[in-house]
Structure 1
Amino acid sequence: MRILAVDDDESMLELIDHSLSISAHHYVATAISAEQALEKIESEEVGFDCFLVDIQMPRVDGIDLTSIIRRIAGCERKPVVMLTAMHEKPYLDMAFRAGATDYITKPFNFRELRSRIFEAGKMCASEVQSIPDSQNSSGFSWVNGELIYDGPVSLSDDGDVKSLLSFVEFENYVQETARAYMRDRTKPRNGGPAAIGLKIACPQSNQTYPRFEPIGPLLSEVVQAANTVFYNALNYLSYRGNGTFLCLLNNHVHESSGSLERELNVCLGSRLNDLEDYGIHVFAGNQVPLRTSLPSAALDILWMAGESVEQKFIAARHAAK
């Protein structure tokens, strides 16, 4: 993999170069500033596969550099891994908002860095599953009321889905959010980040063919409804297939899942007037607190959030029979 590491600390760049080029057999180019990094990106004929970016740098910081990289042709989906001493969650949020793929806080273990770069490489080599664009409905169907999708699609550039992350990026964000929350000594005893699952389905339908096309705008409307209902509580969400979204809230919402579900469907119905005619419904599962600093446990919490909404859909489908 061809990697560009950007950090104003030259000793850190030497360590990264040694660890990745010698131990992991990557090609590593280095830059001590955002300006130098952009020059190398422009002059590199082959192009880079991955970027390692420090946040705190003079003149142009790593967050602004990430935003610029995302606007460069060919770099829109290349992994950008933040390597930073900034542990505070606002920096984490700004980094992912700018387009970061992963976020590693210093000091870090170089074995972990190599592992995270390997995962970033796998993501770069395959298309990322997310919301389809308005022209892409192939491969979608309704089976026993469930939206079935069997292949990858590209991310939408719609301004309404700014809170949307690919599933790999979303997992990275959730794990780092859990670490940041557990490090925060001022955190409240109650509340804190929570995961919740949403699922769009037709629980009363036995049709095996699409009843609403194209699918892309429908899923984008679900994202917009989530942004409206959760408002400032919503950090990010990700589409994980079969009509299911996982959301991370920055604080537990003091409303029942039933109340949130009603609000989501009212909001979606106001945007899509014929929603009820198609029998389409958005389910909301229970909120699952993100109270762990262990990466594997954070992923277990995401699974529980997804399972909660899945069970709610199954119960509704059985009740409709």
Structure 2
Amino acid sequence: MRALLVDDDPLFMDLLTQSLRTLGYSDFETAASGDEALGRIARAERPFDCFLLDIRMPGMSGIDLVGHIRRLPDHRQTPVLMISSLIEKDQIDSAFRAGAHDYINKPLDQTELAARLHMVERLNAERDRSAALSAELGEGRAARSIAFESAVTLDEAEGLVPYVTLENWLLKLGSVRLIGSSAFAVRVDNAEDILLALGSNAFIQAMTDVAALLSDGLKGESRLIAYAGSGHFVCAMQQGRPDLETLALQIELGLDEFRPLYRDTGEILPRVTIGTVATYSPLPMRPPTKLIDAAIARVGKSDGLRAA
């Protein structure tokens, strides 16, 4: 796994590189600023597999650097780990919204670093698998079968992140800072029918279309959206409550625009239900990721909004 490490503190950079070598990672480059990092990315003979970025640096911050990286075609989904002594909720939120996959606090804990790097390897394996599926889809070939329960990585839409990134964001905020945050789920009611009847190509395309409509409907909101598998999307909000009736109408109108294309290609148009909002409370004691479970449970109830 080839990584680019970016931090302006030479002492911490020495510690980080020693830790990586101890863990068995030796294929990496270093940079002391955002500008230097972008230069190394531009000159690289092959894309990096991972970025480890400090947040607070002179000139370009690590969060700004993530934004630049995400605009590069080769690195739209490359895992990014933020490493910083900053623990304020706004900084954590900004890092994840910019496109970070996880956030590690300084001082560096080698066990935590090892766990995060293993997560990066899993993300890269899933990204490669999803890219292969997308290539097969684009070429019109029959894609390999995927498990209905799998939280596959979909093509990018604004605010859409891998499922593991949503989990990491909730865990990093923790029970106290998560108080008042909310989430709701969107279920594609006929997702399994699409997969069984038409295969992986049609399934991925349908989920991607729903993701795009969901992202467009929530544009301007401060949120993270992830596909959680089994036809479910989860949208987590840092504050405020979305207008779900308006969102349902927007998705319905969007699906109506897709209807002729689906009919002409013989594919099955997704049917979508939006669940009610679940708000996180730390009592009784429960892990932050239970907010996801609560949102998915609510979309299964009869009071969900049918978008199509």
Output the TM-score relative to the length of structure 2: 0.73
Please, which moves more after superposition, 37-46 or 237-246?
Answer: 37-46
Quick one: which amino acid aligns to residue 170 of structure 1? Answer: L
How far the C-alpha of 1:77 sits from its partner, in A, is 2.6
C-alpha deviation, 1:34, in angstroms: 1.9
| 2:5–2:53 Cα contact (<8 Å) kept | yes
Displacement after TM superposition at 1:6 (Å):
0.9
Q: Distance in 2 between matches of 1:279 and 1:42?
A: 41
The answer as to whether partners of 1:130 and 1:240 remain within 8 angstroms in 2 is: no
Q: 1:289 to 1:265 in 2, by over 3 A?
A: closer
- 1:221 shift after superposition: 4.9
SS in 2 for 1:26: coil
Q: CA RMSD in A?
A: 4.1
Judge conservation of contact 2:276–2:298 (CA < 8 Å) in 1: yes
Note if 1:266 corresponds to 2:249. yes
Listed as ranges, the gaps of 5+ residues in structure 1 are 142-147, 183-190, 317-321
1:167 corresponds to 2:166: no
- In 1, Cα distance between equivalents of 2:185 and 2:110: 34
- 2:60 and 2:20 map into 1 onto residues whose CA distance is 25
- With over 3 angstroms needed to count, the CA separation of the structure-2 counterparts of 1:47 and 1:223, relative to structure 1, is closer
Tell me how far apart the structure 1 counterparts of residues 128 and 174 of structure 2 sit (CA, whole Å).
Answer: 24
Counterpart amino acid of 1:111? Answer: T
- Cα deviation, residue 201, structure 1: 1.1
- Offset at 1:168? 1.8
Change (3 A) 1:56 1:285: same
- Deviation, 1:215, is 5.0
| 1:87 partner SS | coil
- Going from structure 1 to structure 2, the CA distance change for 1:53 and 1:137 (only over 3 Å counts) comes to same
C-alpha contact 1:128 1:152 (8 A) present in aligned 2: no
The code of the aligned residue for 1:171 comes to E
Asked if structure 2 preserves the Cα contact closer than 8 Å seen for 1:196 and 1:286, the reply is yes
Sequence identity of aligned pairs in percent? 27
Shift of 1:82: 0.7
Q: 1:186 corresponds to which residue?
A: none
**Paired residue secondary structure (2:75):** coil
3-state SS of the aligned residue for 1:303? helix
* 1:3–1:202 Cα change, 3 Å: closer
Aligned to 2:40: 40
For 1:307, the equivalent position in structure 2 comes to 297
In structure 2, the residue matched to 1:119 is 119
What SS does structure 1 have at the residue aligned with 2:287? Answer: helix
- 3-state SS of the aligned residue for 2:59? coil
Instruction: Tell me the number of residue pairs that the alignment of Structure 1 and Structure 2 aligns.
Output: 287
Aligned to 1:144: none
Write out per-residue CA displacement over residues 155-186 of structure 1, whole angstroms, 9 at most, x where no aligned residue: 324xxx2011111222222222336725xxxx
Offset from partner CA, 1:114-147 (integer Å, 9 cap, x none): 2111211221123378898785896799xxxxxx
Match of residue 248, structure 1, among 236, 245, 255: 236
Give the residue type in structure 2 aligned to 1:52.
Answer: L
Query: Deviation at 1:237?
Result: 0.8
SS at match of 2:180: coil
2:301 maps to a residue whose letter is K
Matches within 5 A, 1:136-151: 149=148
